[in-house]
């Protein structure tokens, strides 16, 4: 059924995104920091010690 295959595709894409979230967030932050005059830890301050 078409609905089942769409659900399966959505589920697989969601799993891939969850598995790549650290890499995606890192790349996103690099792109933002390349466009603004702030250090990455000033864009999104954290208590995680340099992540």
Q: How far is CA 3 from CA 6, 7, 12, 22, 29, in A?
A: 5, 6, 14, 30, 35
Q: Report phi then psi at 48, rounded to 5.
A: -85, 10
Total Cβ atoms within 10 A of residue 18 = 9
Q: Give the C-alpha separation, 51 to 22, whole Å.
A: 10
Which ranges in the chain belong to alpha helices (H)? Answer: 2-19, 21-35, 40-43
pTM: 0.56
User: Going residue by residue through the chain (51 aa), what tens digit of pLDDT does each one get?
Assistant: 567 888 899 999 999 999 999 999 899 888 988 898 888 888 878 776 554
């Amino acid at each position: 059924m078409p609905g089942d295959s769409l659900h399966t595709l959505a589920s697989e894409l969601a799993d891939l995104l969850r598995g790549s979230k650290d890499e995606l967030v890192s790349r996103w932050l690099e792109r933002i920091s390349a466009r603004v005059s702030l250090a990455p830890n000033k864009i999104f301050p954290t208590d995680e010690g340099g992540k």
